[in-house]
Amino acid sequence: MQFIHPAFFYLALLAIIPIVLYFFRRRSKTVAVSTLVFFKTLAREHQESAWLRRMKKLLSLLLTLLMLAALVLALVRVVFAPRVDDINSVVILLDRSASMAAVDGDGKTRLQIAKDEIRVRLAGLPEVIGVCLIVFDGRAEVLLPRTLKRRELLSRLDQIEVRPIAQNLAAAMETAMVIAQLEKPSVIWQVSDSAPLRVDDGGEEEDGGGDGGGEVEVEVEVGKEGEVGRGEVDGVVLPEGVSLQWVDVRAAEMVNVGFTSFQVRPIPMQAGKFEAYVKVACNAAAKSTVKTQLEVNLAGMPLQLRELELEPGASVSLIIPIEGSEQQMLRLELRTEGDQLAVDDQVVYPLPESRAMVVAWITPQADPFTEIALSAIQEEGQLDLWKGGPDVWPLSEQVDVVIFDGWLPEEWPEDLPVIVMNPPGDSGPLHARSVGAAGIPYESVRVGNQQHPVLFRVSSSRVAVTQTSIYEVEGGSLQPLWLAGNEAILSAGEVRGQRMVVMGFSPGRSEYLPLTASFPLLMGNAIFWCAERSQAVVERVRENHSGDLIEIAGDEVGDELLWSDWRDGQWREYRQAMNGSLVELGRTGMWRSADGQRGVAHLLSGNETDVAAVGAEQQRASSGLAADRVQGRWGDVGRWILMVLVGLLVVESWLFHRHAVY
């Protein structure tokens, strides 16, 4: 309990007046009157006993003192507030990340609950204590520096809205600690649905799990009024004189299913066909198995509908085949009964544009089987093949992928994806030696990683090859995909950022391999995988997470980003002003700049999708945070005191006027 204006306590001295009057008694006098008619009403009182008359006078004195006390307390403003321990400043660290849009059974979001609790706390905070307001999602923003103006603070608080961005609590806490040190002793109020970042007694961070967001969540022991106290936060020691309080705004129950991963890629050698990889997760706080529907829409038409069942905390990965034209809008939407967070239920993406890849095949002697495989890909319209001998190297024209077959250049091309077949020697990072003209035949191969894109739909069990060289690579890690004996004969990976596929065998000398469909598929996969990052081949829109900072050319005054997103059954457009070339993607959906640049922004955060709940075993009524809840225990009680004062006046009027009690 605190008093906002204790100077008004001097008015309590007025209580001396009724007390003196109570003890001052006038003596009765005998007076002769002409009639007793007007004094008959006093007969009843004169018939009462002396002790009853004294009780009535005492009751009158007590009611007078109570009314005076209520008036004084109303003027000094009695408040019940969190324990402040003579602090000089408060730093409010308010979470506005995506999970704060989750609604409870009353339809109120976590952010609305957080605002209500902040208002209650501020009402109980002495006005001489300065308050700083910081909001955070992916980054922290000082919305209002230290101020004593409560009205301005509440006005800024009302303007805060949830942003569909994953939170970064560690960075926000660093900002809050810097400001909290400016005027100590101080306290940080972390108003969030996520527990404070802590380090255990052994000094090792404990990770609360999730796919993203950079957050470390652990069980937090909180003391009276939710105080975490001094210690280490995410490996950073709280400064002396700075304490931390967690204002928990989690709901008692929470159910949420959302997307945590998404990617679209063209299928090699199949025009107009794509694959969408998605990962759907359910929050761990759900009480039972959750059923959800995944609806796939292309160009506004329903394409697929899948039924999924997820256990609490579980996730499922899907590969969805899609047939469509370039630039058609793909939209995936989750529909879950009782879902309490909508921002992660949808992703949109335009199918990528593609052109024929330009591939240079450099070989001193063309292998007919390799030529047939490359010609088959070329006939699909996805490959523009240039064939030549070593004399055409280096090339005068720009290509997307170069194939060195039985030959290697003296100067290694570091700016091109490379496929090396049957390497005869050393060049650049590749070191190889021949095993002989006849080679070493193998009736079968062992698979190192069947899930690699180079082996997509390749039947490795029916492969028989003839090894012609042994190789190794410096400065990078090539993943062995096929092994013959103990040696890798097919590898793929990156070397100093350059994609490379190495085949240590000759297709023409290998039994069965060139006569099966696996070899053209292998060549097509290798070419497409090497050229996958080439913007000239597949013109993808820029993919980012919401909250990312990106650079967009064209920073003229008046430039805007035009956003479009599917909401409430229709496409909605929004405009975002650009103050320069560096732009924050503060929402989800598709965007397009004035000069034609375009991209998409997704939430795709495991931490935000895994919305926490208190749970039945952690109800706030029995936890250390019970006092942090809005239970009427905190705040200015002046209006209640005024109501008591009015009630006393009514009682006094009823007793001492209606019934003429003197």
Q: Residue ranges of the domains in the chain?
A: 2-81+639-658, 89-252, 257-352, 357-530, 541-602
Do the Cβ atoms of 168 and 136 come closer than 8 Å? Answer: yes
DSSP H/E element including 526: helix 518-530
What average pLDDT score do residues 531-539 get?
A: 67
Pairing of strands 487-495, 401-405: unpaired
How many C-beta atoms lie closer than 10 Å to residue 304's C-beta?
Answer: 14
Out of 2.60.40.10, 3.30.365.10, 3.90.330.10, 1.20.120.450, the CATH code matching 257-352 is 2.60.40.10
Closest of 4, 7, 74, 5 to residue 637, by C-alpha: 74
Candidate ranges 303-312, 570-579, 624-633, 644-653; pick with highest mean pLDDT = 303-312
Do the domains at 89-252 and 357-530 have one common CATH topology? yes
* Residue 216 φ then ψ, to 5°: -110, 110
What is the pLDDT, as a whole number, of residue 535? 59
Cβ density class 68-107: b for 16+ within 10 Å, e for less: bbbbbbbbbbbbbbbebeebbbbbbbbbbbbbbbbbbeee
Between 243 and 70, whose confidence is greater?
243
Cis peptide preceding 394, ω within 30 of 0: yes
Which residues make beta-bridge pairs with 307?
293
What is the pLDDT, as a whole number, of residue 179? 93
Q: Would you identify the CATH topology of the domain 89-252?
A: Rossmann fold (3.40.50)
CA pair distance 602, 260, nearest whole angstrom: 9
Res. 625: pLDDT tops 50:
no
- State the pLDDT confidence band at 307, using cuts at 50, 70 and 90: very high
CA pair distance 646, 171, nearest whole angstrom: 51
Res. 626: pLDDT tops 50:
no
pLDDT digits (tens, 9 = 90+) for 73-108: 777 766 655 555 568 899 999 999 999 999 988 889
What is the pLDDT, as a whole number, of residue 633? 41
What is the pLDDT, as a whole number, of residue 347? 94
* Residue 626 φ then ψ, to 5°: -60, -35
Considering only 44-53, 61-70, 135-144, 614-623, which range has the smallest mean pLDDT? 614-623
- CATH code: domain 357-530 is 3.40.50.880
What is the pLDDT, as a whole number, of residue 2? 62
Considering only 390-399, 501-510, 650-659, which range has the smallest mean pLDDT? 650-659
- State the pLDDT confidence band at 554, using cuts at 50, 70 and 90: low
**What is the Cα 41 distance to its own chain's centre?**
79
What average pLDDT score do residues 229-257 get?
A: 79
- State the pLDDT confidence band at 266, using cuts at 50, 70 and 90: confident
Do the Cβ atoms of 204 and 136 come closer than 8 Å? Answer: no
Closest of 553, 561, 609 to residue 586, by C-alpha: 561
- State the pLDDT confidence band at 200, using cuts at 50, 70 and 90: very low
Which residues make beta-bridge pairs with 469?
434
pLDDT digits (tens, 9 = 90+) for 278-299: 999 999 999 999 999 999 999 8
- State the pLDDT confidence band at 42, using cuts at 50, 70 and 90: low
Give the length of the chain: 662
Roughly what angle, to the nearest 10 degrees, separates helices 110-123 and 150-159?
Answer: 180
Global confidence as pTM: 0.67
**What is the Cα 552 distance to its own chain's centre?**
24
What is the pLDDT, as a whole number, of residue 617? 43
Res. 224: pLDDT tops 50:
no
